[in-house]
Amino acid sequence: MEFQLLPGGVISGEARVPGDKSISHRSIMLGALAEGTTRVSGFLEGEDALATVAAFRAMGVDIEGPEGGEVSIQGVGLHGLKPPAEALDMGNSGTSMRLLSGLLAGQGFDSELTGDVSLCKRPMGRVIDPLRHMGAQVESAQGGTPPLHIMGGQALRGIHYDLPMASAQVKSCVLLAGLYASGDTSVTEPAPTRDHTERMLRGFGYEVRNEQGVISLRGGGRLQATAIDVPADISSAAFFLVAASIAPGSDLLLTHVGVNPTRIGVLNILRLMGADLTLKNEREVGGEPVADIRVRYAPLQGIDIPLDQVPLAIDEFPALFIAAACASGRTVLRGAEELRVKESDRIAAMAAGLTTLGITNEVLDDGIVIHGGTLGGGIINTYHDHRIAMSFAIAALRATEEIRVLDCDHVSTSFPGFDALARGLGLQISARVD
């Protein structure tokens, strides 16, 4: 599938983007390991989250739905999973693979985790190393890539792990393995990362401590079923936050968006660039802060992105690169090596697309310099990355010529119905099946 986009347009109206992907994944994982029935609303019915559902069904968990965002999970307890009959296919979902590797390291049975071509190129050494320190037996393909073979029946022991780089997925993997370890398991972060795992564990009645950046828990506890209302995903909202910021005359309200303080880097960065963002109706739902966000067009200026905001906006940078392309002056990003090992090398992929559209940029080892300018048109290669595809779709709002975005099939991993919602809000987009 490809997106075809006519230049120009105004973004206006009200919308609720799909549910948060990170929280949707974790609701299935912890609901499956809890005692009792967990009910989830607002669940993201995208391919990544559905891969997590399929994995737990393959391990004997009774899951009803998702239907209309509603899911019911009959928990089997921490030690109730059954051996899967075959390899667990995570599709394109790095979150599923990294978090499940932690959970599976503590099981009494052997398991194998695999995925699609893109996922099987992504580095898993960052989770394999701490798991081996805990006593797990994990084998990978050459270079630390999937498939992962995890040997069951290992006696895990709690460790203290200093994260070499800020990563919520690695932190979560270690903490989830810690549920099955003897003693305390703790993780020190070099910078704060999204804390959905810690919040949700507490929601399931499991004690998690956070003392001056050291997150710790003790193995051997129990999870009690609960109800979870998944907020709209700020990573998905980011495309429309940028879209309304760059298209003159735009005025948009995004409702029920998760505004967890470990995820709002995109809001902070856009405000530093001069965006007109207002949070309304701020509240807490199931332990997660939520708000409605109003965004109106405003001229943006290039900035040096503060290093402390980088981990808080790591998934939103493709959209922010489009904001930078439409800003006056230059925008500089450093400290974002993590972007090199996402679904694609997002620095290289975005740089190539920006160059195609006539935007001057310089690629750095850990970031990029983008000089704001006039966007032209052209054909964009997404490298099968959903966030690259959606980012160049919104670029059309300020383009002077038509844009074609190739290989958009993976958009449904995180944002099913993106093109229909975008069209309803004012983007001149059509999807064409190859």
Yes or no: say if 218 and 30 are a contact pair by the CB < 8 Å rule. Answer: no
In DSSP terms, which residues pair with 41 in a beta bridge?
Answer: 229
Taking the C-alpha atoms of residue 154 and residue 172, their distance in angstroms, rounded to an integer, is: 19
What single-letter DSSP state applies at residue 51? H
> pLDDT tens-digit profile of 195-216?
999 999 999 999 999 998 899 9
Same structural domain, 113 and 242: no
315 counts as catalytic: yes
Residue after which a domain boundary falls, among 197, 229, 261: 229
Report the pLDDT value the prediction gives residue 405, as an integer from 0 to 100.
98
Residue after which a domain boundary falls, among 229, 264, 289: 229
Report the pLDDT value the prediction gives residue 412, as an integer from 0 to 100.
87
Percent of the chain with pLDDT over 90: 92
> pLDDT tens-digit profile of 301-343?
999 999 999 999 999 999 999 999 999 999 999 999 989 878 8
Residue 33 — pLDDT band, cuts 50, 70, 90?
Answer: very high
Same structural domain, 189 and 160: yes
Q: Which domain holds residue 183?
A: 21-229
Same structural domain, 220 and 247: no
Report the pLDDT value the prediction gives residue 286, as an integer from 0 to 100.
77
Yes or no: say if 18 and 46 are a contact pair by the CB < 8 Å rule. Answer: yes
State the catalytic residue, choosing from 20, 315, 385, 419.
315
> pLDDT tens-digit profile of 68-124?
999 999 999 999 999 999 999 999 999 999 999 999 999 999 999 999 998 999 989
Same structural domain, 137 and 241: no
Same structural domain, 358 and 319: yes
Question: 254-288: string of b/e by CB count within 10 Å (b at 16+)?
Answer: bbbbbbbebbbbbbbbbeebbbbbeeeeeeeebeb
Taking the C-alpha atoms of residue 26 and residue 35, their distance in angstroms, rounded to an integer, is: 15
Report the pLDDT value the prediction gives residue 388, as an integer from 0 to 100.
96
On the question of pLDDT at 413 being above 90, the answer is no
The larger pLDDT score, comparing residue 286 to residue 190, is at 190
Whether the pTM exceeds 0.85: the reply is yes
Same structural domain, 119 and 29: yes
On the question of pLDDT at 434 being above 80, the answer is no
* Phi-psi category of residue 383: left, alpha or beta, with phi > 0 → left and psi -120 to 50 → alpha: left
Percent of the chain with pLDDT over 70: 100
Same structural domain, 114 and 90: yes
Calculate mean pLDDT across residues 52-67.
98
Taking the C-alpha atoms of residue 427 and residue 247, their distance in angstroms, rounded to an integer, is: 10
**3-class DSSP state of 48:** helix
> pLDDT tens-digit profile of 365-395?
999 999 999 999 999 999 999 999 999 999 9
Same structural domain, 373 and 245: yes
CATH of the domain at 400: 3.65.10.10
Yes or no: say if 106 and 178 are a contact pair by the CB < 8 Å rule. Answer: no
Same structural domain, 406 and 260: yes
Report the pLDDT value the prediction gives residue 213, as an integer from 0 to 100.
87
Same structural domain, 338 and 311: yes
User: How many independent structural domains does the chain possess?
Assistant: 2
- The full DSSP string for 175-196 is HHHHTTSBSEEEEE-SS----H
Residue after which a domain boundary falls, among 184, 200, 229: 229
> pLDDT tens-digit profile of 151-178?
999 999 999 999 998 899 999 999 999 9
Calculate mean pLDDT across residues 429-433.
92
Report the pLDDT value the prediction gives residue 285, as an integer from 0 to 100.
84
Contacts of 17 (CB under 8 A, 6+ apart): 232, 233, 236, 237, 240, 254, 257, 415, 421
Residue 191 — pLDDT band, cuts 50, 70, 90?
Answer: confident
Contacts of 41 (CB under 8 A, 6+ apart): 69, 70, 227, 228, 229, 230
- Mean pLDDT score of the chain: 96
Report residue 98: phi and psi, to 5°: -70, -40
Same structural domain, 381 and 393: yes
Same structural domain, 222 and 367: no
